[in-house]
Structure 1
Amino acid sequence: MNLVRHHHGQHRQPGPSAAVSAVVDGAAQIGESRDAARRFLESLQAVHGFPVSRRAMGAVELVVSELVTNAHKYAPGPCLLTLEVSEGAVAVTVWDSSTALPLILPPDPGRVGQHGLEIVMAVCRSFEMHREPVGKRIRAAVVLADDPGGDLAGHQPM
């Protein structure tokens, strides 16, 4: 899977500074999508100086995994994954070819499976679904640095 970098800027929030996109085609690339998201966040931190908490790193990987998996399961053909930094958060956007919006089921601890979107919504600052002229677009934003103690990925506490 090849990530395409859209724009790099030296400016910090609130404007967008970095974005990447990739076409994801097939179940084998779901893991690659998670890895690509982690590399993107590591680059944001190491190269651009954005703080990225461990929680944010895990949450973004989870959101990417859930949204790309759903696109693979419920829509024919490849999907498009985009990661973009804006206003202190990373927006994970997945476009797929199906116009059917996913059902978000109410919490039910007795239900086996189908908790993915419920979990995504719990870890995200925002969640949106939109039908497009072809397919749909789902976007979820995860705050990058929300740990008051500075628990940043790749940094050891003193």
Structure 2
Amino acid sequence: MLVGSPSEDGDCTERAARPMRARFALAGDDGCIAQARRHAADFLTRAQDKHGPAVSSYTVEMARLIVSELVTNALKYAPGPVLMELRITGARVEIAVGDSNPTLPEAHPTDPDRVGRHGLEIVRAVTPDVDIQRLASGKRITARIALTPGGPC
């Protein structure tokens, strides 16, 4: 069973030997983004059913939104497959999306006339816990959200 508890610094730590995780390679074909959203919702349902952490419907919808924005951007700006990993770590779900483009995304200033390029803004509005890493083979963006709103972590 996965159980998280706040550590002294207020972060969540894992007590499970192995966190629950799932990985998906997304080829970019029609329906790929909708499929990625379904993977996220199904993963959170399985996590709750099999391992017991409470997962709110709000978290499921926010995870679907984050997946949609990150996968859309990866498919739009990077050649090759997109890799998505979902993990339960303590009282949070981590959503990581990696692609082959090493260029790190930039947040643009607010512009009501701009069409598109709002994905990272949307993800950061949902959660301030976003990491962007350049990798040898591209980049990975990881967003973390609490399994229950207002819960630890």
Secondary structure of the equivalent of 2:55? coil
Q: 2:116 aligns with which of 75, 88, 113?
A: 113
> How many residue pairs align between the two structures?
139
Q: Does 1:87 align with 2:90?
A: yes
TM-score by length of structure 2 reads: 0.84
Counterpart in the other structure of 1:34: 37
Structure 2: gaps (5+ residues): 5-12
Match of 1:67 in 2: 70
Percent of residue pairs identical = 40
Residue ranges of structure 1 left out of the alignment (5+ in a row): 1-9, 149-158
Aligned match for 2:136, one of 116, 126, 133: 133
Alignment-derived partner of residue 8 in structure 2: none
TM-score by length of 1: 0.81
C-alpha RMSD over aligned residues: 1.6
Structure with bigger RCO (C-alpha 8 Å, 6+ apart): 2
CA contact 1:53–1:147 (8 Å) conserved in 2: no
**Runs of 4 or more off by more than 4 Å in structure 1?**
none
SS in 2 for 1:47: helix
Counterpart AA for 1:111? R
1: CA distance between counterparts of 2:39 and 2:133? 24
Q: 1:17 corresponds to which residue?
A: 19
Amino acid at match of 2:44: L
When residues 11 and 88 of structure 1 are mapped into structure 2, their CA distance, relative to the original with a 3 A threshold, is closer
Q: In structure 1, what residue type is equivalent to 2:112?
A: P
Describe the SS at the equivalent of 1:113. coil
Offset from partner CA, 1:68-117 (integer Å, 9 cap, x none): 11111100010110001113111110111000111211333343322211
Segment drifting more, 126-135 vs 44-53: 44-53
Q: CA deviation at 1:57?
A: 0.7
Shift of 1:47: 1.9
